[in-house]
Structure 1
Amino acid sequence: MNFEKNNTTLLDQVIRSTSNKYFFNDLPENKFLYQKSIHEAANAVVNHLESRDTPFTGVSVEAIAEKFEKIFLDNESSLTLNETLEELKELYLNDAVNFHHNKYVAHLNCPVLTPALAAEVIISAINTSMDTWDQSIGGTFIELKLINWTLDHMGYPADADGIFTSGGTQSNLMGLLLARDQFIKTNYSIDPKMQGLPAEASKFRIFCSDVSHFSLKKNASLLGLGQNAIVPVAVDNHFRMDMSALEQAIEIEKAKGNIPIAVVGTAGTTDMGAIDPLTEIAAMAQQYGLWFHVDAAYGGGLLLSDKHKHKLKGLELSDSATIDYHKTYFQPVSSSAFFMRHKKYIDHIKYHADYLNSKEQEDEGIPNMVKKSIQTTRRFDALKLWLTLRVMGRRRLGQYIDDIIQLAQDTAMLLRTSGDFEVLNQPGISAILFRYQPFQKGQALSEEQLSRLNAYIRKAMFNEGEAVIASTKVNGSVYLKFTLLNPLTSVQDMEEIIHIIKKHGQEFFRNN
């Protein structure tokens, strides 16, 4: 028994000694393994770039699922990192959607910049958590500098503040949270942080255009207000919130005995890139005493452009705003931020934990970022934007925005002049909503036929993989969508994509 026990102890020591090499630290063998691992991972990415010339392979759900059925994660690992990366090619890399490809024009996924990817290497290795000063020395001031830089371009007052978030949904949640709690603080003698919501909260109403982001309804539900708290407002011919319809909607809700508390303007709707009349909404919000939040997750990139920044006029009048750097600042996900007009609104979020950010630390002026965030542990995502700006500068990023807007306008013209397409919007940013609408035997197709046709085209193109586009519905009918976020995509690329659309449209008629 002693012999067996000694052998078992020795084996444990060998396993422990071998496995310890995987930790990131300053031991010579561990530093070597880190460099080797990063090199091998980078090679896998480069090989992926070189092995694919399409945005997608067209692989089926069933084929991918079958590969994963053969993986057993509880088995003792016996693969080297290089062997595991080879396996990863089959499981992921070979069929990953290439958002950097010139013919990927589907969703709000931008190509990313190399300085930001270099930042990712540093972020993951150093593993800074941005919640408190004693975990994020230096990183705190990088984030603060970027927040203040953005606030300055937004035109917010000196007393404004902000925080990096995981994305637009979280930022919009924070905007509605502040709207709710500020209204309660102003109109009721309770503290919502301690006592919850007043009985009247079921009557709270928030207004937004009927083409605004779904996260508003989702967040209203999470905040205890219910999805019915979101009141959709009709849009005009350019898919911007109709101001007469907004005023009418507010008056109707008041007449019902409901309580308007906020209005959300969208600066860049997901489907069409429409920008609501922010200045007019701000005036109406002030008239009715409403919180004014702007969802500029998509349109926030216009701040980079000297040519198009004016389209965000009125943003500076909002009480809070959302901007996604991982949409139009060419950053890897996630990189987003939430902004508030006055620092005092932080009180609705702030919580002191003695082990984390005590009241004494705040009195000493220690900048603990956790007080501004609904997250505690939080990645140092700000470093990606920091390296990008320091290496490339704002003006070059602004030129990229100018380029994709020009491409969108040129593409809309291509579609209109081809004769076979209906284009719904003139792109204010870089989204185009349209459908293939040819005449068959001199007759126009019905709405049902057009929906079947365009749904077929989108699916057939995805299964083929030569180009990837998106689709959505407008008034129940299927439309196709281009979202142009790649400054390297050319008019010729778009001409080829349009040709592919027509090719699959003709296939539909041959098959039906």
Structure 2
Amino acid sequence: MNAHLNEVLTIRKDMDSEELEQIILKIIQDSRYHESLHSGLDYEKIRTRLTPFTLDEPGGIDAIIRAIEGYLETSVQTGHPGFLRAFWGASEPASIVASLLTDIRNTTMHSFAVAPSATIIETEMIKAISDLAGFPGHGIFTTGGSNSNELGFLCAREDVLPGSSKTGLNGQNLRAFASSEAHYSVDAAANMMGIGTDALIRIPCIDGKIDVRALDQAIIEEKENGNLPFIVLSTAGTTVRGVFDNLDAVSEIAQKHGIWHHVDAAWGGAALFSDKHISLLKGIEKADSFAFDAHKMIGSSMVCSAFLVQDESILPRTMSHTNQGDYLFDDPNKELSLGRISPQCGRRADALKLWLSWLELGKKGLGEKVDSCIEASKHLADLVEKHPELSLVSYSFSNVCIRFTPLPNETIEQGDLRVRMARNYLEDQGKCMVLDSVLDGQLVIRFTASHPNVDKAATETFLSNLIDTKKNLSL
């Protein structure tokens, strides 16, 4: 190991492999989670802990070690079994190794010439994900689910207005459609594309799913008003409820009106790996594109996201501006260079994170992770439903939304306050971190199991902490 590390550290002759090993081991030893989720320090105390050294003079390896200690001490332990507020958490060890591997080679993905092996790995990962979804195998890794959804919008624009990547919108009033519970990144996509968020039509939901009749009618009305519908975005795993839209029905409407159908499967796409739960994604093979985040339930370290498409030609056409970058794509294999179909030039080899985890665990092992998270959430939902002091507002996929059983004559606002106080207390105590979200006009505690450390025992601990909090605060 030492000889090989010395070989790759060619830029720093003054740091040998033993010093690097010392740093890496320090990180591994200190990053094991402790009882508390976080330090409990406020902004100024964290800032003081992180910046006790001057940046004017070299501090050497001792400065690095102390800085690492400060960072780990003041960071949230996202691999803790009480970390329940996000769609990501503990990373797969193989994925962490992949991040180190990527940093050691320190290349960018724009050109096959400078990233030959990483280009092949990304291409194969795109094919592997596509195979699970019934797609032909085209796409690109992105900076996250939001970026993937933005790409869906751009591809849809190019599809409905060929050449618009060069000529622009030519006065067309484009209209996009998404459910009222779709992720806010669809608003960002409308903003970033220049059509404005008012051009995004939010469709009401029925039990969290997009109302397909209302969708059909909204598209008809926009056409009658002289506007040009160009994309409908459905969601596979909504942010609060975890609900999956009826992908078959949405595809049928999109095809009827000749518009692009993009699926935001950033969260729910993990079900592709599960034989038990893949049926949640029934109909995804009919969509034109979809987003998938491997850094969520699959456990790749941040960020590891992909955008998949049916039409091989759409990304080169949408990214036609890359034709101005011949000075970058000057090698004989430039047709293999992924920078030609990406909005980025500098881009990390993120596909390696999924690649190593998939090699180690196989589809079966990754699918078992998904099953475990869903089983843990189902266990909690069952416990909540039976508990006299709690109310199960919603349960789907790995999302459990909870309120306290209403007190006599309690208003919604009073119930909201109890939820907010409990959530804040749990976090302040360092026992667990959950999200509070508005659902159907009321505040709920949203629980998610997104990493293997959140098992059935962890859900029982959370429930016990929640009830103890209710008693301690006399809620």
- Residues 112 and 334 in structure 2, CA contact (< 8 A), matched pair in contact too: no
2:313 match: secondary structure: helix
- Residues 423 and 434 in structure 1, CA contact (< 8 A), matched pair in contact too: yes
1:342-367 per-position Cα deviation (integer Å, ceiling 9, x unaligned): 11102111322221125x95xx6740
Give the distance between the partners of 2:67 and 2:50, measured in 1 at CA.
11
1:351-402 per-position Cα deviation (integer Å, ceiling 9, x unaligned): 22221125x95xx674011111001111111111111111221101101111
CA RMSD of aligned residues (A): 2.1
2:46 to 60, 64, 67: 64
Give the distance between the partners of 1:27 and 1:400, measured in 2 at CA.
39
1:236 to 199, 206, 223: 206
Alpha-carbon spacing, 1:71–1:444, altered in 2? closer, same or farther (3 Å): farther
2:473 match: secondary structure: helix
- Residues 424 and 433 in structure 1, CA contact (< 8 A), matched pair in contact too: yes
**Does 2:26 match 1:43?**
yes
1:415 to 356, 360, 384: 384
Give the distance between the partners of 2:18 and 2:203, measured in 1 at CA.
55
Counterpart in 2 of 1:432? Answer: 400
- Residues 234 and 250 in structure 2, CA contact (< 8 A), matched pair in contact too: yes
Q: How does 1:252-263 map to 2 (within 5 A)?
A: 252-263=221-232
Q: Percent identity?
A: 27
Q: How far did 1:432 drift?
A: 1.1
Counterpart in 2 of 1:98? Answer: 77
**Does 2:153 match 1:179?**
no
Q: How does 1:3-152 map to 2 (within 5 A)?
A: 25-26=9-10, 29-30=13-14, 33-49=16-32, 52-67=34-49, 72-73=54-55, 75-77=56-58, 79-90=59-70, 92-152=71-131
**In structure 1, what residue type is equivalent to 2:144?**
G
- Residues 144 and 303 in structure 2, CA contact (< 8 A), matched pair in contact too: yes
Counterpart in 1 of 2:304? Answer: 335
Deviates more, 1:40-49 or 1:318-327: 40-49
Give the distance between the partners of 1:61 and 1:422, measured in 2 at CA.
35
- Residues 142 and 382 in structure 1, CA contact (< 8 A), matched pair in contact too: yes
Q: How far did 1:234 drift?
A: 0.9
Q: How far did 1:231 drift?
A: 0.8
Counterpart in 2 of 1:247? Answer: 216
**Does 2:460 match 1:479?**
no
**Does 2:146 match 1:169?**
yes
Alpha-carbon spacing, 1:436–1:57, altered in 2? closer, same or farther (3 Å): farther
User: So what's the TM-score if we normalise by structure 2?
Assistant: 0.93
Q: How far did 1:24 drift?
A: 5.9
- Residues 111 and 334 in structure 2, CA contact (< 8 A), matched pair in contact too: no
Give the distance between the partners of 2:246 and 2:473, measured in 1 at CA.
40
1:108-161 per-position Cα deviation (integer Å, ceiling 9, x unaligned): 11321111111111110111211101111121111111111111111013xx41
**In structure 1, what residue type is equivalent to 2:23?**
E
**In structure 2, what residue type is equivalent to 1:116?**
S
- Residues 168 and 324 in structure 1, CA contact (< 8 A), matched pair in contact too: yes
- Residues 372 and 455 in structure 2, CA contact (< 8 A), matched pair in contact too: no
Give the distance between the partners of 1:59 and 1:153, measured in 2 at CA.
44
Give the distance between the partners of 1:144 and 1:87, measured in 2 at CA.
37
Alpha-carbon spacing, 1:241–1:28, altered in 2? closer, same or farther (3 Å): closer
Larger Rg: 1
Q: How far did 1:272 drift?
A: 1.5
User: So what's the TM-score if we normalise by structure 1?
Assistant: 0.87
Deviates more, 1:489-498 or 1:81-90: 81-90
Give the distance between the partners of 1:244 and 1:227, measured in 2 at CA.
22
1:297 match: secondary structure: coil
Give the distance between the partners of 1:438 and 1:62, measured in 2 at CA.
39
- Residues 56 and 97 in structure 1, CA contact (< 8 A), matched pair in contact too: yes
**Does 2:350 match 1:381?**
yes
Counterpart in 2 of 1:218? Answer: 188
Counterpart in 1 of 2:467? Answer: 502
Give the distance between the partners of 2:45 and 2:318, measured in 1 at CA.
48
Q: How far did 1:71 drift?
A: 5.4
1:463 to 423, 428, 432: 428
- Residues 175 and 321 in structure 1, CA contact (< 8 A), matched pair in contact too: yes
Q: How far did 1:102 drift?
A: 1.2
1:267 to 210, 221, 236: 236
Q: How far did 1:491 drift?
A: 2.3
**In structure 1, what residue type is equivalent to 2:20?**
S
Give the distance between the partners of 1:81 and 1:472, measured in 2 at CA.
44
Structure 2 stretches lacking a partner, 5+ long: 1-5
- Residues 408 and 484 in structure 1, CA contact (< 8 A), matched pair in contact too: yes
**Does 2:158 match 1:192?**
no
- Residues 128 and 136 in structure 1, CA contact (< 8 A), matched pair in contact too: yes
Give the distance between the partners of 2:102 and 2:223, measured in 1 at CA.
49
1:261 match: secondary structure: strand
Give the distance between the partners of 2:423 and 2:35, measured in 1 at CA.
20
Alignment length, in residue pairs?
Answer: 467
- Residues 205 and 261 in structure 1, CA contact (< 8 A), matched pair in contact too: yes
Give the distance between the partners of 2:409 and 2:456, measured in 1 at CA.
29
Give the distance between the partners of 2:287 and 2:183, measured in 1 at CA.
18
- Residues 106 and 482 in structure 1, CA contact (< 8 A), matched pair in contact too: yes
Give the distance between the partners of 2:195 and 2:12, measured in 1 at CA.
56
Counterpart in 2 of 1:13? Answer: none
Q: How far did 1:35 drift?
A: 4.3
Q: How far did 1:495 drift?
A: 1.9
Give the distance between the partners of 1:246 and 1:28, measured in 2 at CA.
59
- Residues 102 and 489 in structure 1, CA contact (< 8 A), matched pair in contact too: yes
Give the distance between the partners of 1:474 and 1:108, measured in 2 at CA.
18
Give the distance between the partners of 1:286 and 1:462, measured in 2 at CA.
47
2:318 to 343, 348, 368: 348
**In structure 1, what residue type is equivalent to 2:461?**
E
- Residues 37 and 80 in structure 2, CA contact (< 8 A), matched pair in contact too: yes
